[in-house]
Structure 1
């Protein structure tokens, strides 16, 4: 894949209230700081939280690090997202498998694991912090920041 041609990125987790909106907020800000004009979004593989704002714990730790969640609301990923986004990044293997189930065959290549871009962590998946405490949300941000930096290196 020619990452320099990427103009849009969608981040995907299960419910679109913790990991993927955090990735959207972090990546959007980091891309803007680098002077990149990209379409950035997030979605979930299930629609249980459609139209809800991100989890208050995700927002709290994100805001503590200077990220904005303004305008981010949960939605379910669609087949059309594979036409609308150049790169679709799953937070874990289960959500990557769900993306591959709905992706048109000729667009399967767009779906990848987000942490494939991380340089400073060995984790392959961003763990779901939903049932844990604040430290889990902080660790998610650590991973998201690392992978965002790595992705931005590929895009520049």
Structure 2
């Protein structure tokens, strides 16, 4: 088994999925885990833009740098390229499954299925205040730890 690859997906790739990309990349590197990580949105509202300043600020306070990330839309090639396509909410899962070839839909999962949380979805903080962004990063950190554990277990088994 080669280097695992993970694509984090939300609606606009401006808040949640770039935060997940930055947090997961950081945690993987800290743990000596070689993984390819990217993020995208189901809609291309913010193509080419940096992540939301509020996401960057909350992430920075916790030691994560999102400043070099650029927003993009999910492409057909992503379904082939990535081993794991991880959605922030159920609407993202539905949108991804509509676009994804049936034989690759097993790659799609809900991010908080890897977390120890009463939340099922990472809520969209875009129209919320600072507390919404803080909740999002807390949920993402928890789920990132769970996903790293799962990937490391499957690498040991493989």
TM, length-normalised to structure 2? 0.94
Would you say how many aligned residue pairs link Structure 1 and Structure 2? Answer: 152
- Give the structure 1 partner of residue 133 of structure 2: 137
Residue 42 of structure 2 corresponds to residue 45 of structure 1: yes
Contact 1:6 1:155 survives alignment (8 Å): no
Residue aligning to 1:154: 150
Please list every run of at least 4 consecutive aligned residues from structure 1 whose deviation after the TM superposition is greater than 2 angstroms. Answer: none
Which of 52, 76, 84 is equivalent to 1:79? 76
Matching of residue 59 in structure 1 with residue 78 in structure 2: no
Listed as ranges, the gaps of 5+ residues in structure 1 are: none
Q: 1:128 and 1:85 mapped to 2: Cα distance? A: 24
- Asked if structure 1 preserves the Cα contact closer than 8 Å seen for 2:51 and 2:67, the reply is no
Look up the SS of the partner of 2:76 in the other structure. coil
Contiguous gaps of at least 5 residues in structure 2: 153-158
What is the CA–CA distance in structure 2 between the aligned matches of 1:79 and 1:123, rounded to whole Å? 29
Distance 1:109 1:77 in 2: 17
Query: CA shift at 1:68, angstroms?
Result: 1.0
Between 16-25 and 6-15, the greater mean CA deviation after superposition: 6-15
Contact 1:5 1:155 (C-alpha < 8 Å) held by counterparts: no
**Map of 1:23 onto structure 2:** 20
**Comparing 43-52 and 70-79, the one that deviates more:** 70-79
The structural deviation recorded for 1:5 is: 6.7
1:94-139 Cα distance to aligned partner (Å, 9 max, x none): 01100000111100000110000002x1110000000010100000
Q: Secondary structure at the match of 1:26?
A: helix
Q: CA RMSD for the aligned pairs?
A: 1.1
Contact 1:6 1:87 in 2 (8 A): no
